[in-house]
Amino acid sequence: MRRLDQLLANLGYCSRREARDFLKKHAVTVRGVAVRDPAGKVLAADVLVDGEPLDHPEGLLLVLNKPLGLVCSHDEREGPRVYDLLPERWRARNPQVTSIGRLDKDTSGLILLTDRTELVHQYTSPKHKVPKLYRATVDADLSPELIPLFAAGTLLMDGETVPCAPAELRLNSSDRRTAELVLTEGKYHQVRRMFAAVGVTVLGLHRLQFGRLTLGPLASGEYRAVTTAEID
């Protein structure tokens, strides 16, 4: 059981201070009974707002197809943010909706967003080795010799003292300037820096998959909520 004002504030409906006013303006019921007391204790599943169940009361986990040019930082000074694509109520949630790991401003594709702090840890912890699949477009023909080099677990990127974990490089037989790369870690700018370590510049980068999650039919800028069944 949680206080109703706390619950409404956590889910982005209003601030705790605004809860009393919110209850005057909206038909909020608990098991069908109208409520006016913001301090009352409730079960989220029993609450309806204007006849609708609460918006993802157990937490949000979203797959977003990130467009180029947006940042995963919350700092508006770094440019337009992925969070700006979300509905206002989700942006007002507390805990805040945040990205699980980051994609660079110049990288597009699959990014997970959540307000479930335990998931951020679970998916980014090196211990869990969640595979992430990227498609890179590069400035030179890629040699098959890179496959064992990336797989060896010995590649040292500039500025690092610990080599990269083994990574799977999949070349494209019809286009030697695109390839797929599967990483199980997420060091800063890792794909670009791994290729830089072998003298290749990444011109375009897109993430296709994160663990078992894929983009499916999501167009750039679109997102969907992930069901618990997808991550079990």
CB of 9 to ligand URA, least distance (A): 33
Rounded CA separation 12/49 (Å): 13
Site size for ligand URA (CB under 6 A): 8
Using the rule CB under 6 A, give the single segment among 78-86, 88-96, 168-176, 183-191 that binds ligand URA: 183-191
Residues 51-69 as b/e (b if ≥16 CB within 10 A, e otherwise) read eeebebeebbbbbbbbeee
Residue 50: active-site member: no
Q: Which residues pair with 168 in a beta bridge?
A: 182
Question: Residue 65, interface with ligand URA (CB under 6 A)?
Answer: no
**Of 18 and 104, which has the nearer Cβ to ligand URA?**
104
For residues 11 and 191, which CB has a smaller minimum distance to ligand URA in the complex? 191
Toward ligand URA, which CB reaches closer, 61 or 202? 202
Which two tokens mark 178? 């695109």
Query: Which among 133, 135, 117, 109 is positioned nearest to 211, based on CA atoms?
Result: 133
Buried b / exposed e across 9-37, counting CB within 10 Å, b at 16+?
Answer: bbbbbbebeebeebbeebebebeeeeeee
Member of 70, 97, 155, 205 binding ligand URA (CB under 6 A): 205
State the nearest-atom distance from the C-beta of 211 to ligand URA, in Å.
15
Contact between 66 and ligand URA by CB under 6 A: the answer reads: no
Active-site residue, from 37, 55, 104, 232: 104
Query: Could you say whether residue 104 binds ligand URA (CB under 6 A)?
Result: yes
Reference 128, options 100, 158, 156; nearest CA is 100
Smallest distance, ligand URA to C-beta of residue 60, A: 22
Using CB under 6 A, which of 103, 110, 112, 169 touches ligand URA?
Answer: 103
- Please check whether residue 23 is in contact with residue 38, taking contact to mean a CB–CB distance below 8 angstroms: yes
Q: Which stretch binds ligand URA (CB under 6 A): 46-54, 57-65, 102-110, 119-127?
A: 102-110
Q: In 10 A of CB 230, how many CB atoms?
A: 13
Residues 185-204 that bind ligand URA (CB under 6 A): 189-192
CA dist 135 and 123 (Å) reads 20
Q: Is 108 in the site for ligand URA (CB under 6 A)?
A: no
The DSSP secondary-structure symbol of 17 reads T
Residues of this chain that bind ligand URA (CB under 6 A): 103-104, 107, 189-192, 205
Q: What residues are annotated to the active site?
A: 104
